[in-house]
Amino acid sequence: MICQKREEESGKTGSFFLGRKEGEAMKKTRATRHNGRTGAAGVFRAGHNDRTFDLDNAGHIDQTRCSINVYWDCYQGLNFPDENGIRPERKFTFDEIELIYYTDQFGDSIEAQNERHRQSRHKERIRSVEDILKDPKTCPEESVYQLGTKDGHEDPALFVQVFLELKDEIEKHYGSNIKVLDWALHMDEATPHIHERHVFFADDGYGTNFPKQDKACEALGFERPDPEKKSGKNNNRKMSFDAEIRRIYIEIAEKHGITIEKVPLEGKEHLEKNDFIIAKQEEVKAANAIYIAEQELKIADIDAMAEEVAEKAYEKACEVVTETVKEETVKADIDIVKEYRDVLTDPKRNAPDKQKNFIKKILDNVMERLARNTAVLLEKVKGILQRPEIKQKNKEEIAHVARESVLEILERNKKKSAEHNASRQVPTKEKSRDWEER
């Protein structure tokens, strides 16, 4: 009904609205859903979505079609532009709507946090609502939906119906921890698509809500894809949430008779420019996924590895230390006895030769016994070093050094991988904030 209304008001009919040409055979359609928060220019702002910027600088936008776009936000509801692209019933922009919502819903939590920072004398940590909106961790997430490509797409009216049913399902099942803030149907670009922005929130630990994606997904009952592994970029609750939303999205589309293409994109030479960019970026991510996963696995196993290293290192250290103690201690003792013997048997010393010979014999015997008793000394030193309390303390120190060294190496390797990944990003001639670059 929404698109039908826009069609009637604009007088624009035909394949642009209907998607398929008359008599065209049913083809499989690609169901697109991309998520993002940041781009090269920082966090995504809602101004692109409700067209509150200079359209003359946006070559990818057909301004003659702006009048058939559709806009919605959580305070003002639906609003439509007139033939000149002006929306007379709109009082607030999407950016203003999001600021109002964040202030209304998270203002108490933000102020309470700031007061705690004042009390703890950390005023540098104080943040405003605007700061929270600009933070990549707490800003709204943007999802872009599309059914089809520039070469063929579903009837926008049917597309919007599918999207609205999906939005209803999200609000029905997950509305306790996620709020849809605004959405816009763009009919003025190559392919009809919808930008939808939402925020995840959960209890901040003090009885008020605050933007917390992972906590929200946890509260909604989502678990990591692999619960046995630590949470990370490739194993987190948000992945499970996105998978479920995509499943529902496809299920609703198929319920309306749309056949969804589930085979990954191939034949990149036939892809439109921005689809190629997305596919290429996914290729780069996949090429690094195994390496990064291995690095994360190694980091997860560092404690066990450090313990093993410490055990072996300590045993080796005991051997070296014991041998050194044995050699140095016995040598020192023998040297002392020898020195004492030489003094007492010095020819210049005024003493009978018989007495000197007796002293020499006794002290030579002492030195011989010291040399023979090195094995006993060796066992005593080993025994001391192997005492549980001494061994554990020394092993912990060795493990700490080993752990820090390995972590440093792995983090350095991950950084190199990330830099290599970034250097392989596909360049674009113009950086627009259109969905297809996300």
Which token pair is 240? Answer: 């499970």
Q: For strand 178-186 and strand 193-200, is the pairing parallel, antiparallel, or unpaired?
A: antiparallel
Q: Report the pLDDT averaged over residues 57-73.
A: 80
Task: Give pLDDT, residue 241.
Answer: 97
**Does residue 295 fall inside a structural domain?**
no
Instruction: Find the domain containing 81 and state its range.
Output: 2-263
Which token pair is 320? Answer: 């070296």
User: Ranked by mean pLDDT, which of 70-79, 342-351, 370-379 comes out on top?
Assistant: 70-79
Pick from 431, 427, 435, 429: which is nearest to 58 by CA?
431
- Give the contacts of 23 (CB within 8 A, at least 6 positions apart): none
Q: Does 134 share its domain with 229?
A: yes
Which token pair is 410? Answer: 């792995």
pLDDT band, very low/low/confident/very high, at 272 (cuts 50, 70, 90): very low
CA atoms within 13 A on the CB side of 39: 14
Give the C-alpha separation, 35 to 52, whole Å.
22
Give the C-alpha separation, 234 to 225, whole Å.
9
Q: Does 103 share its domain with 199?
A: yes
* Amino acid occupying residue 255: K
Q: Is the pLDDT of residue 340 over 60?
A: yes
Q: Does 176 share its domain with 253?
A: yes
CA 251, chain centre distance (Å): 29
Please identify which residue in the block is written with the tokens 């190496």.
409
Which token pair is 51? Answer: 């067209």
Q: Write out pLDDT tens, residues 372-398.
A: 666 666 666 666 666 776 667 666 666
For the chain, what's the residue count? 438
Task: Give pLDDT, residue 434.
Answer: 46
Q: Are 131 and 146 in contact (CB under 8 A)?
A: no
Q: Of 58-67, 143-152, 155-164, 267-276, which gets the smallest average pLDDT?
A: 267-276
Q: Does 88 share its domain with 187?
A: yes
Q: Does 242 share its domain with 360?
A: no
**Does residue 316 fall inside a structural domain?**
yes
Q: Report the pLDDT averaged over residues 421-434.
A: 49
Asked which of 205, 232, 263 is the last residue of a domain, the reply is 263
**Does residue 435 fall inside a structural domain?**
no
Q: Write out pLDDT tens, residues 275-300.
A: 444 554 555 555 566 566 656 555 55
Q: Does 231 share its domain with 360?
A: no
Q: Does 205 share its domain with 318?
A: no
Which token pair is 284? Answer: 């780069």
Q: Pick 329 or 27 by higher pLDDT.
A: 27
- Give the contacts of 47 (CB within 8 A, at least 6 positions apart): 53, 93, 94, 95
User: Ranked by mean pLDDT, which of 221-230, 344-353, 425-434 comes out on top?
Assistant: 221-230
Asked which of 216, 239, 263 is the last residue of a domain, the reply is 263
Q: For strand 152-153 and strand 141-149, is the pairing parallel, antiparallel, or unpaired?
A: antiparallel
Pick from 197, 200, 22, 201: which is nearest to 108 by CA?
201
**Does residue 421 fall inside a structural domain?**
no
**Does residue 398 fall inside a structural domain?**
no
**Does residue 392 fall inside a structural domain?**
no
10 Å Cβ neighbour count for 332? Answer: 10
User: Ranked by mean pLDDT, which of 37-41, 421-425, 432-436 comes out on top?
Assistant: 37-41
Q: Does 322 share its domain with 173?
A: no
Q: Report the pLDDT averaged over residues 328-339.
A: 71
CATH number of the domain at 249, please.
Answer: 3.30.930.30
Q: Are 52 and 86 in contact (CB under 8 A)?
A: no
Q: Does 186 share its domain with 321?
A: no
Q: Write out pLDDT tens, residues 101-128.
A: 999 999 999 999 999 999 999 999 999 9
Give strand ranges (E) for 128-260: 141-149, 152-153, 178-186, 193-200, 202-203, 209-210
**Does residue 153 fall inside a structural domain?**
yes
For residue 28, the SS3 value is coil
pTM of the shown model: 0.58
Q: Does 245 share its domain with 310?
A: no
To the nearest whole number, what is the mean pLDDT of the chain? 77
**Does residue 370 fall inside a structural domain?**
yes
Q: Is the pLDDT of residue 17 over 50?
A: no
Q: Are 301 and 401 in contact (CB under 8 A)?
A: no
Q: Of 38-52, 133-147, 201-215, which gets the smallest average pLDDT?
A: 38-52
Q: Does 380 share its domain with 308?
A: yes
Q: Does 99 share its domain with 174?
A: yes
Task: Give pLDDT, residue 390.
Answer: 67
Which token pair is 413? Answer: 């390797």
Pick from 54, 14, 36, 225: which is nearest to 139 by CA?
36
What domain count does the chain have? 2
Q: H/E element holding 262?
A: none
Asked which of 370, 386, 402 is the last residue of a domain, the reply is 386
